[in-house]
């Protein structure tokens, strides 16, 4: 997975994330810009926005590969994360 300029922000819900290890699908940042002026730029890949499973896979990848001191947070831009009212936690 190629994330040359990815900045990492870890979520607070680690215990709710049932992680089976790095799933596929997540990652591949958009190369997000570092400037705060462009609110639309996001490091969250499309794969994480298309489905709840894709989101969880992305989160697993973030936690597994990007948890380190010195990282900068991911740019979130104006993305809307997918949700589900019916699925049990993945």
Q: Which residue ranges make up the site for another protein (CB under 8 A)?
A: 7, 9-13, 15-17, 36, 39, 44, 52, 55-56, 59, 72-76, 79-90
- Cα diameter, the chain: 38
Smallest distance, another protein to C-beta of residue 2, A: 20
**Smallest gap from residue 12 Cβ to another protein (A):** 6
- Least CB distance to another protein at residue 17 (A): 6
Q: What is the DSSP letter of 37?
A: S
Identify which of residues 64 and 82 has a Cβ nearer to another protein in the complex: 82
Cα–Cα distance for residue pair 5/37, rounded to 1 Å: 17
Rounded CA-CA distance 33/84 in Å is 29
We find the least distance from the C-beta atom of residue 78 to another protein, in angstroms, to be 8
Per-residue tokens: 88: 């049990």
Select from 50, 77, 48 the least CA-distant residue to 62: 48
Which residue's CB is nearer to another protein, number 4 or number 13?
A: 13
């Amino acid at each position: 997975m190629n994330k040359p300029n990815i900045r990492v922000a870890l979520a607070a819900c680690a215990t709710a994330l049932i992680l089976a290890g790095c799933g596929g699908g997540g990652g591949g940042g958009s190369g997000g810009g570092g400037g705060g002026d462009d609110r639309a730029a996001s490091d969250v890949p499309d794969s994480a926005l298309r489905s709840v499973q894709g989101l969880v896979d992305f989160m697993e990848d973030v936690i597994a590969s990007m948890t380190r001191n010195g990282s900068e947070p991911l740019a979130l831009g104006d993305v809307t994360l997918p949700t589900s009212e019916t699925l049990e936690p993945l």
